[in-house]
Copies of this chain bind each other. A is one copy, B any other.
Amino acid sequence: MLFFGGDYNPEQWPEEVWEQDVALMRRAGVTIVSLGVFAWSHLEPEEGRFEFGWLDRIMDRLHEGGIRVALATPTASPPPWFTLAHPEGLPVTADGVRLSHGSRDTYCVSAPAYRAAARRIAAALAGRYAGHPALALWHVHNEYGTDCRCDLTAAAFRVWLRDKHGGLDALNDAWTTAFWSQRYSDWAQILPPRATRYLPNPAHVLDFRRFLSDELLGAFVEQRDLLRAATPDIPVTTNFVQGGWVSVDHARWAAELDVVAVDHYPATTDGAEAETAFGADLARGWAAGQGGSWLLMETAPNLIYTPGRMHAKEPGRLTRHSLSYLARGSRGAMYFQWRQPRGGAELFHSALVPHAGPDSPVFREAVGLGRTLKALDGQVAGPLTAQVAIGWDAPSWWALQGGGLPAADIDYPAAVQQTHRALYHAGIATDFVFPGLDGLGERLRAYRMVVLPHLYLVSDEAAAALREFVASGGHLVAGHLSGIADPAGRIRLGGYPGAFRDFLGVRVVEWRPLAPGTTIALDNGDRGVRWSERVETAGAETVVRYAADVLAGAPAITRNRYGDGAAWYVSPGLDDDALRRLLDQVAAEAGVLPVLPGLPPRLDAVRRGDLVFLFNHGDAPAPVPLPGPGTDAVTGRPAPGSVTVPAGGTTVVALQPPDRRPAAAGPHL
């Protein structure tokens, strides 16, 4: 079954609307809805008193309509009664402000009262709906990512630190507490990062974010285990969200989920196809342990958030991007949300059924998309294979958000997305690897080429695996701000990038960040942006040199033959075009091929086994030569040597004559 549906909040509507909802879902081909995500105050209106009648009725009604349910535990938003009964369960900011209800996510995950309340409602739901025929998936919580600085959090943080560091001496060493007289002589002195006079200790902040990730994971696992015990055959997930404020290391969490579920809201108005592909490829990376199969749990039917503005999508984008997620590994496409609410904080967040009702462009497009998904059901099975991987590391992101860095505008996700975008525009399928996880060496064997943007923190083990990757014939590209520090954030001394100096064959003796709005000439005609450095080669050959200012003539981009492979170092920041040309060159040397050669601009191809997805993000129809004759997987029409993909459209070609392909891999639903 392909997942098609979204968050459904019947508790916001009178029951007469429910009937219309089910009828409209059937019209659109919806197969599943997320239910109850924010329903705690409706399920447990007073502490310990449950009202399940309404949920029983809608579960039954959905089941009668042939629609399955991802049933949520509503623990992301405790009801107002929780505030009054358990004030110590509310979160406290770094300034000491105890937050109050009135929004969502107002709880402290380390507060026993919160954890107990969360277990109680989860257990009650598990008990009541364990055998319900509509139940297809447990959707625990929503977008884990809160933080708190209260005394209960402090206590939990200390336990976590003891477990990690063993003793205070080790902690003092790891955190370099000798700086600014911060040496701890008693565990009780350790607090969460709180309002202080000036710059905080970055290692303290970094460990606190790691702690939060683990603490939130503990809360998830607690619910997961309880649900698994009640329904061993129903998979359990939680929906990942990303953002600079989110202290969750999704790569570590993924192993604890039965299905990796992802919320993804591209923020680009034009050409968001690259951002969509990035989100999908990263999710597939997280889901490597589940064969690369994941689930798009939320995206916006008709909304692009940019700072201060909600843009509407152009016609066709909903369909095309939904299929792009599907092609890149998602088990379907789910949306926030089914029906646009009349009130509440997000009343203008888009929906499949907008304020205007079903007589609207977005609902009509959804109906068409439902038909396409139904046609594709059962066909999307083959693996997506890539020869290139990008390194992603949440702790490096966190470390680069600090305040004492050489440039305040270092943007980790932007750097990674730019790398991915360059490969995307080169038509090269790309995976993600996670240098912070065990087993990196094994994982790297699948690839010919690895790119490391801003891999700031790196362990000795990961550095060794990367070294071995190159020695064994791999092609590695490291950008500036990679290999700088150990996982505690301590600089690897002797010249940057300390961890990689040997196999890169370079030594950086000085960083020279560029002033905003300035660039630096390179001798190949490109210009460095954002960053420059004084690089000394130590074995590497210089491919491109700086051509101006005090760096004139100094190495900018180098290549080091190391063992059977090659390791590139890219000192300056590059613009999109320059970066794409560079990665094209490395890919060519590495023998990496695009998915399909010679595609027109804005034509994006994904291949899964014998199925080829062709996305035309441009404004004109685009003829695409195929690697062989096939069949249009949606219409069933023959697709001989080539197809023409309509402007803004998607064509899916099955390269073999259509037959009943096996169902997609992944956990049973």
Contact = CB atoms under 8 A, between A and B. Distances in A.
Contact of A46 (B78, B185, B306, B348): B185
Interface stretch (A276-284, A285-293, A311-319, A620-628): A311-319
Contact of A345 (B91, B356, B404): B404
A77 B309 contact: no
A90 to B, nearest CB: 10
A563 interface: no
A100 B182 contact: no
Interface centre among A146, A197, A495 (most CB of B within 10 A): A197
A341 B179 contact: yes
Interface string A488-520: 111101111000000000011111110110000
Contacts of A346: 179, 199, 404
Interface string A311-338: 1101100000000000000000000000
Contact of A103 (B42, B196, B312): B196
Contact of A97 (B84, B96, B99, B309): B96
Contact of A176 (B84, B342, B362, B489): B342
A602 interface: no
A202 B348 CA distance: 12
Given A176-B12, A354-B510, A80 B183 contact: yes
Interface centre among A189, A201, A342, A488 (most CB of B within 10 A): A342
A181 B408 contact: no
B40 A101 contact: no
Contacts of A385: none
Nearest to A339: B493
Contacts of A600: none
Interface string A176-206: 1111111111101111011111111111100
A178 B9 contact: yes
A344 B179 contact: yes
Given A80-B185, A195-B97, A342-B490, A308 B409 contact: yes
A557 B341 CA distance: 28
A60 to B, nearest CB: 20
The secondary-structure label for the interface of chain A is: loop
A41 B101 contact: no
Given A181-B39, A181-B40, A201 B308 contact: no
Interface string A108-119: 000000000000
A275 interface: no
A343 B489 contact: yes
Contacts of A189: 80-81, 83-84, 101
Interface of A: 9, 11-12, 38-42, 45-46, 74, 77-81, 83-84, 91, 93, 95-106, 146, 175-186, 188-191, 193-204, 269, 302, 306-312, 314-315, 340-349, 354-357, 359-362, 403-409, 488-491, 493-496, 507-513, 515-516, 534, 549-550
Given A46-B186, A179-B341, A311-B513, 13 more contacts: A38-B181, A45-B183, A77-B181, A77-B182, A79-B182, A80-B189, A81-B186, A97-B195, A99-B196, A102-B194, A103-B196, A309-B515, A356-B494
